[in-house]
Structure 1
Amino acid sequence: MNRGITTMEMLKTAFVTLLLVTYSQTEEIPDEYQIPELCPKECNCPQSFPNAIYCENKGLKRIPVIPPNTWYLYLQNNLIDVLSADALRNATQLRWINLNRNKITSESMQADALRAMPNLIHIYIEDNLLTTIPSPLPAKLEQLRLSRNRISKIPPGVFAGMDHLTLLDLQGNKLLDDAVTEVSLKGLSNLIQINLAKNHLNSMPLGLPATTTQIFLDGNNIDKIPAEYFKGLPKVASLRLNRNKLADGGIPKNVFNLTSILDLQLSHNQLTEVPAISSALEHLHLDHNKIKSVNSSDICPPGALDEYVEENGPHLRYLRLDGNEIEPPIPRELMMCFRLLRAIVI
């Protein structure tokens, strides 16, 4: 049996080799199927993933010369402290670069090192030593992940022309309120997700693009929300404000009563009451506050108990109330209001 399998494998290998030889003699192999030329000796270039180069966990202090036809470059977990434009000069086809957990500073990032790669759409430079947003950025960039650096400023104009960027991750940096403004974010005309969690914000960030759908602000020092804050954010569907300093007085009565919001997270704050919500809300996190009771007349959207129609009734499916001062049982009216509720933690 083993001999038969070995023979079959040999035949398959010979057949594939013959196909490649025949194809190469008759027609040029497309770039996207070519194995990267001159694979750096420090890296791995698997034939099963011919456009990827793996150089992670190699103790590298410099980026090796990257050959053309490389699409995916993995350089995480090294000691790289310089982002050299020369090393990436030939990597004009690069789509994805991962430089997480290195020692790159803003000063050691050479000018045009990133823009030299016009096809780059994903950049990972997390857990480094950056103090500002890299500039200039590739025009086609879609995702920029810079979490857990030391970024304290966003230079005006750094996102000019970045209308392809949909995800901006800046969590775990040192951004203050005056760093996140309409001026600093100008150019992000198609942004969908922004992550500003674990910074030093005392107020809701200003100037977020109207296209923003997901806003992550966990772990800041925000204590109030302006009444008209979401007027310019008609598409916000997910809002995370866990671990801030929000109390009842800092939340205007209907500020969260928006049909666009589907996921609202307010865990680990100082609330004593459940804020007003819309019928469209599906996930509500209120755990670890100071709430003593849940009054169904307050939390249930107006008219929901009068004549229940599933299509128009409340859509709440998940509710967390644990870590408060609420005693069981769950009020019957609450279950009558939220008939789609599948899980409640109390």
Structure 2
Amino acid sequence: LSVLPTDIPSTVISIDLSHNSLTKIESSAFSVFSDLEKLDLSHNIIATFQDTALHTVGSTLKWLYASNNRIANINDVPLRMLRHLVYLSLNDNSISYLTPDAFTSFSSTLETLELDSNRLTQIPSGIFSGMRSLETLRLSNNNLTSIPDFVNLPVPNSLCDLFLENNKINSSQSSLSRLTSLEKLVLYGNQLITIPSFSNAQGNLQELYLQQNKITGIVEADFDKLSLKKLHLGNNRITSLT
């Protein structure tokens, strides 16, 4: 398919258009689907959405899959139309930057945000404002040089799974102390030379993945505030345990 079919029943609540050849989403594409909750547009060649393409589903859409496309600018996806989104997948696109207000319209409802395999070099701290329900954040395979700043993430919050593997992170300084519900932190395949700093707030952390970094040594204090069940440190440069 290269264009949206016109004979889809208007009563559907889920539409799967993945693995087709769609190049853009026209302004009236979903105008008749007043009950649509799930839309899968992954694995197409979409570069842009018309400004009002998602307007009529703004109050109903909860799951939007747009991974494996050609989206370069988050503003090309009219997310401001969506007010109750729970799941957003934008993996495997060409997004190089995000504006602080990119997800504002559904910040209080979003539970999963996937931005793996894009071209991001930094994440604006303001982007997490209001994300009290966020549980899973995926930022793997980008060009990040530091752990995102979570200073604007509400406390308490729900973030339990944070994926940052295969970036270029070389600084362990961060605001991880705000992640009071964090259970899984994935940082393998980066350029860390020291263990990230943790506080008593990370008492829920169960799994920590730090393999394939440049860590040279470990001291007891690195983990004394944690109650880990899984710790991965393979393929580093560790020469001492003190």
Q: What range describes the TM-score normalised by the shorter chain of this pair?
A: 0.7 to 0.9
Q: Which residue of structure 2 aligns with residue 111 of structure 1?
A: 51
Instruction: Say whether 1:240 aligns with 2:186.
Output: yes
Q: Offset of 1:279 from its aligned partner?
A: 5.0
1:173 is aligned, of 118, 122, 127, to: 118
**Higher strand fraction (1 or 2):** 2
1:270 and 2:214 aligned:
yes
Q: 2:171 aligns with which of 208, 221, 224?
A: 224
CA distance in 2, matches of 1:93, 1:274: 54
Which one has a bigger Cα radius of gyration? 1
The 3 A distance-change label for structure 1 pair 256 and 232 is closer
Q: Which of 99, 103, 108 is residue 41 of structure 2 equivalent to?
A: 99
The reply on whether 1:200 has 2:168 as its aligned counterpart is no
Kept in 2, the 8 Å contact 1:159–1:188? The answer is: no
Candidates 72, 90, 98, aligned match of 2:14? 72
Q: Is the 8 A contact 1:259 1:279 kept in 2?
A: yes
The number of residue pairs the alignment matches comes to: 228
SS at match of 1:90: coil
The answer as to 2:94 corresponding to 1:182 is no
Q: Which amino acid aligns with 2:38?
A: W
Q: What do residues 213-259 of structure 1 show as CA deviations (whole Å, max 9, x unaligned)?
A: 21111011111211x622222222111101000113xx36x537731
TM-score, length-scaled by structure 1: 0.62
1:265 partner amino acid: Y
CA RMSD of aligned residues (A): 2.0
Matched with 1:215 is 162
Unpaired segments ≥5 residues, structure 2: none
Residue 274 of structure 1: CA displacement? 3.7
Equivalent in the alignment of 1:125: 66
Q: Distance in 2 between matches of 1:195 and 1:291?
A: 27
CA contact (8 A) 2:177 2:198 kept: no
3-state SS of 1:183 partner: helix
Greater RCO, 1 or 2 (C-alpha within 8 Å, sep 6+): 2
1:287 corresponding residue in structure 2: 234
Q: Aligned equivalents of 1:88 and 1:147: distance in 2?
A: 23
> Which of these residues, 95, 100, 103, is aligned with residue 159 of structure 1?
103
Structure 1 gaps of 5+ residues are 1-59, 299-346
Q: How far apart, CA to CA, are the structure 1 residues paired with 2:232 and 2:214?
A: 13
TM-score by length of 2: 0.86
Letter matched to residue 46 of structure 2: I
Cα distance in 2 between the residues matched to 1:229 and 1:185: 12
